[in-house]
Structure 1
Amino acid sequence: MRKAWPRLCLACAATIVAGCLLQPTFLGPQSGARPQGFVRSDRQVVMQADARPSLQPSSESASFSMLGRASAAALCALVAVSADRRSRQRAEKVVVRMFPTRARSRQKTMRRFEPFGEMPAWSRKPLLRKRLKQPWRKRPTKKLSMKGRYWIERSRVACHYNINIHQLTKYVLRAFKEGRKHPIDHLMQILESRIDNFLWRVGLAPTMAAARWMVRENHIQIRHAPKDSDYQPPDWVTTNVPATLLMLGDEIRVRPKKRSIGLANKHQDEEGEVDVPSHLEWDREELIGRYNDVCDSNEIGINVCEDFLLYNFLGPEGVRQRHIRWFEGTTIPIPKIYNGGRIRPTPENILNMKKGAGLRLRGRRRPPGLWGKTGSTMLNNPWEYGKKVKV
């Protein structure tokens, strides 16, 4: 309702102006109007000797009146449109000022994280060191805690690969789930197998964000390696998912379009010769490459401290792995439900119930099957089979 008020006011103003300009006096005397050549006196009505001749409508005056009417209407419409346009422009400017962007600049991020290590894929511009000394600072800077150092190392990896913390946590869970001896090395291999990282490593994009943009704009195609099965993957598929993980033998190329090839050649000319890792292949002329093997731990694109990453994800506030137990000899998971106050029917709990372990304990050491019971009656009967106990 508030937005409609300016337009309503403008329309009313235009109507008033048009009404004032188009009064009958503008067009000359009408049939019911008093003639200007007569003067009413108290005694009698006499004709003035020097009175002007009466105005009679003619073809020229009629055409002039029509022209004036059209000109006045056009002028009013032009004034209303221009005023409405100015009001809209002012409203747009106000909206832009009220909602500024909150994106942190790349220079601020580099100034914060560069002392702990470089992030090569974050920005092509070097760090601008404006002021190294701060004489106005009276108090020394606060010492960085160990928890803050863990967060900085985690943020460095996330900024380098242009992913958020949620994506990085999913990769960490996958790396720890594999059961490798060195989970951090396995995590870095997963990150190095992303298709946007492949474009940055071969010099097809100046930064990881530019590589992500190229994938999102459908400039990259992928051909998966054939498998030993009846299903054969298609020849070349255009992908727009930067998080695509490459498998051994996958081939990547620039889409055979004029715009895509021109963009790829421009980026390669700007970057120049790039040291391609040994596990990757890339032809600068044909714009085609291959993912041959996992990345070696000595050829990772960023230097990281494994201890800080390991402690961050394995500490008391690290990632939480889902603990699942299955019934013995089956793939049916043991549910984690309340089940009327009974404990989970895991093999260990069933064995302890059969042994009668903990029946005489008190307090928190008492087994959950006896909580809230005054006598020796157990909620969990190991010899009972039915709906109460799921064995």
Structure 2
Amino acid sequence: MAWKACVLSLLVLSLCASVAFVAPQTSGTTSRNGVLESARGQRQVIISQDARQFAPPSSTSSAGSFSLFCRLSAAAACAVIASSARKQQRAEKVVVRIFPSRAMHRQKTMRRLEPYGEIPAWSRKPLLKKRLVQPWRKRPVRRLSPFGRYLYERSRVRCHYNINVRQLTKYVLRAFKEGRKHPIDHLMAILESRIDNFCWRVGIAPTMAAARFMVRENHIQIRSERVSHDYKDPEWVTVNTPSHLLKLGDEIRVRPKPRSQGLAKRHQDEDGPVEVPSHLEWDRENLIGRYNDLCDSQEVGITVNEDHLISKFLGPQGVRQRHIRWFEGTTIPIEKIYNGGRIRPTPENILNMKRGFGLNARGYKRPPCLWGRKKNPLNNPWEYGSKVKV
């Protein structure tokens, strides 16, 4: 819009200049016979007497004033253009201040979470400390509650492995299955078996976000271990899912393309030699590795406080676990809807049926296996009926 206004102003100024500095016509007018017309001559004399004070200057003075006017108009146009450029520059500065960079966001996250432990895979740049101009004006830090400490610990794990809360909850539910003695160790082993974490641990990606980018851009391939019933060796498969969990014996390599190989080698040269954990193998020259075993609890990429992490996962406000009961002495689960709606023959229900607990109780105190008649409950699991499963 600024350049349109400048062009319009220049056109108007040039038009005014052309109208103002038109050369005057000659005052001598004669008829065909060489005699001046009387009426026209009188009118010309009157006009010349009235407009004597507004008479145009000579040719030299008119040319000088015209050049001066052109210079002034050009200076005005330059001033308009400069002002528009300054406004545009100020607008760009304001936009830069409104939208902070990604590096600033990572620094804020590190400044908030690193007092409770490092986040190695979040950023390879060091934390920049703020200089307090007036240290005496710093506000005292409140004492953190156990729930707040759990939130910080969960955020550290989430930022390190570059996952969201929903993914972390899914891994927690898998780690807290029946028969797990140390669920946090199993949780960390699951997180360490992700394909993007493998790329970061062997050094072909500087951060977990860069490892996710490499997987998403089809730079990584895997090959599963051959099984006895396979009639041929498995082939290399390109993986573009960062949450892919590796199995024991899987081989991982960088895709044999110039772009993929160059990206991985550049990252290796920038970071230098990396300490690879014992359960992984990696060849820096050929860019190929292997996943041999689960990660040991002492070699996890991030230090985790188990007490704060497990307290909320196991508490009444923790994750909702699936309650599965098995028939005694078997691995067959007892389904929720049993015998068309009868009570399930779980150990506690059978014990209540034998002892007769809750026969005289009312309301929610009566167990579900004793609802109905007092002496012969209607939903007895020992009664035989039509085995209909809804």
For normalisation by structure 2, the TM-score amounts to: 0.66
1:113 deviates by: 0.2
Alignment correspondent of 2:267: 267
Q: Kindly provide the CA deviation profile for residues 147-202 of structure 1, in whole angstroms up to 9, marking residues without a partner as x.
A: 01011111101110111111112212222216232221221112111111111111
**Aligned: 1:276 with 2:262:** no
1:216 deviates by: 0.6
Give the Cα–Cα distance (whole angstroms) in 2 for the partners of residues 118 and 376 of structure 1.
Answer: 64
Give the Cα–Cα distance (whole angstroms) in 2 for the partners of residues 261 and 178 of structure 1.
Answer: 43
Q: Kindly provide the CA deviation profile for residues 279-308 of structure 1, in whole angstroms up to 9, marking residues without a partner as x.
A: 222111111111222222222111111111
SS in 2 for 1:222: strand
Change (3 A) 1:370 1:300: closer
Q: Which of 264-273 and 131-140 deviates more?
A: 131-140
Change (3 A) 1:236 1:383: closer
Q: Kindly provide the CA deviation profile for residues 82-106 of structure 1, in whole angstroms up to 9, marking residues without a partner as x.
A: xxxxxxxxxxx9xx99x97998921
Q: Kindly provide the CA deviation profile for residues 328-384 of structure 1, in whole angstroms up to 9, marking residues without a partner as x.
A: 5573533258977x644434324433543332334543344666x797774434564
* Contact 2:252/2:288 (8 A) holds in 1: yes
**Aligned: 1:386 with 2:385:** yes
Which amino acid in 2 is paired with 1:349? Answer: N
* Contact 2:353/2:370 (8 A) holds in 1: no
Give the Cα–Cα distance (whole angstroms) in 1 for the partners of residues 231 and 308 of structure 2.
Answer: 44
Give the Cα–Cα distance (whole angstroms) in 2 for the partners of residues 107 and 352 of structure 1.
Answer: 59
Give the Cα–Cα distance (whole angstroms) in 1 for the partners of residues 274 and 302 of structure 2.
Answer: 15
* Contact 2:339/2:388 (8 A) holds in 1: no
Map 1:311-322 → 2, pairs under 5 A: 311-322=311-322
Alignment correspondent of 2:89: none
Change (3 A) 1:142 1:374: same
Alignment correspondent of 1:174: 174
Change (3 A) 1:327 1:102: farther
* Contact 1:325/1:346 (8 A) holds in 2: yes
1:211 deviates by: 0.3
Q: Which structure has the larger Rg over C-alpha atoms?
A: 2
Alignment correspondent of 2:52: none
Alignment correspondent of 1:301: 301
Give the Cα–Cα distance (whole angstroms) in 2 for the partners of residues 292 and 161 of structure 1.
Answer: 21
Alignment correspondent of 1:189: 189
* Contact 1:224/1:233 (8 A) holds in 2: no
Change (3 A) 1:307 1:380: same
Alignment correspondent of 2:336: 335
Map 1:104-115 → 2, pairs under 5 A: 105-115=105-115
* Contact 1:334/1:345 (8 A) holds in 2: no
Give the Cα–Cα distance (whole angstroms) in 1 for the partners of residues 290 and 204 of structure 2.
Answer: 14
SS in 1 for 2:268: helix
Q: Kindly provide the CA deviation profile for residues 7-29 of structure 1, in whole angstroms up to 9, marking residues without a partner as x.
A: xxxxxxxxxxxxxxxxxxxxxxx
Map 1:234-253 → 2, pairs under 5 A: 234-253=234-253
Give the Cα–Cα distance (whole angstroms) in 2 for the partners of residues 276 and 330 of structure 1.
Answer: 39
1:271 deviates by: 0.9
* Contact 1:253/1:287 (8 A) holds in 2: yes
* Contact 2:221/2:236 (8 A) holds in 1: yes
SS in 1 for 2:176: helix
Alignment correspondent of 1:76: none
* Contact 2:344/2:381 (8 A) holds in 1: no
* Contact 1:380/1:389 (8 A) holds in 2: no
Alignment correspondent of 1:163: 163
Q: Kindly provide the CA deviation profile for residues 190-244 of structure 1, in whole angstroms up to 9, marking residues without a partner as x.
A: 2111111111111100000100110110001111111232365622111111112
Give the Cα–Cα distance (whole angstroms) in 2 for the partners of residues 308 and 286 of structure 1.
Answer: 42
Identity %: 71
For normalisation by structure 1, the TM-score amounts to: 0.66
Give the Cα–Cα distance (whole angstroms) in 2 for the partners of residues 378 and 256 of structure 1.
Answer: 70
Alignment correspondent of 1:258: 258
Q: Unaligned stretches of 5+ in structure 2?
A: 1-91
SS in 2 for 1:252: strand
Give the Cα–Cα distance (whole angstroms) in 2 for the partners of residues 388 and 290 of structure 1.
Answer: 50
Q: Unaligned stretches of 5+ in structure 1?
A: 1-92
Q: Kindly provide the CA deviation profile for residues 232-259 of structure 1, in whole angstroms up to 9, marking residues without a partner as x.
A: 5622111111112222221111111111
SS in 1 for 2:221: strand
Which amino acid in 1 is paired with 2:255? Answer: R
CA RMSD, 1 decimal: 3.4
Change (3 A) 1:332 1:121: closer
Give the Cα–Cα distance (whole angstroms) in 2 for the partners of residues 135 and 183 of structure 1.
Answer: 44
Which amino acid in 1 is paired with 2:170? Answer: K
Give the Cα–Cα distance (whole angstroms) in 2 for the partners of residues 118 and 231 of structure 1.
Answer: 48
| Matched residues, number | 293
